[in-house]
Structure 1
Amino acid sequence: MLTNPVVLSIAVMTILCLLRFNILLSILVSALVAGIMYQDGSFLDALTATTSTLITGMKGNLETSLSYILLGALAAAIANTNLTAILINSISKILSDTRTYFALIIAGVACFSQNLIPVHIAFIPILIPPLLPLMNKLKIDRRAVAAALTFGLKAPYVSLSVGFGLIFHGIIKRELENNGVKVEMSDISGVMWIGGASMLVGLLLAVFVFYRGKREYQNTEATTIEMKEAEFAKSLKMTKKEWAVLGGAVVAFGIQILTSSMPLGALLGLLVMIVFGGIEYKKIDNIMNSGLAMMAFIAFIMLVAAGFGAVLRESGGIEQLVSFASSLAGGKLGGAILMLAIGLLVTMGIGTSFGTIPIIAAIYVPLALNLGFSPTAIILLVGIAAALGDAGSPASDSTLGPTSGLNADGQHNHIYDTCVPTFVFFNIPLMIGGVIGALVL
Structure 2
Amino acid sequence: MTEPDSTAGTDRTAGTDRTAGTDRTAGTEDLLRRHAPQVLGALVRRYGHFGLAEDAVQEALLAAAVRWPADGVPGNPRGWLIRVAARRLTDLLRAEEARRRREETAAALAPPLPDGGAPGESRVPSEDDTLTLLFLCCHPALAPAAQIALTLRAVGGLTTAEIARAHLVPEPTMAQRISRAKQRIRGVPFRQPLPEDRDQRLAAVLQVLYLIFNEGYTATSGRALHRADLAREAIRLTRRLRRLLPREGAVTGLLALMLLTDARSAARTGPRGELIPLDEQDRGRWDRPAVEEGCALVEEALGQGPAGPYQLQAAIAALHDEAGSADATDWPQILGLYDLLVRLTPEPMAALGRAVAVAMVHGPEAGLTEVASVEDRLAGHHRLDAVRAHLLERAGDAEGARAAYRLAAQRTLSVPEANYLRMRAARVR
Q: Which has the higher contact order (CA 8 A, sep 6+)?
A: 1
TM-score calculated relative to the size of structure 1 = 0.21
Which one has a bigger Cα radius of gyration? 2
More helix by share: 1
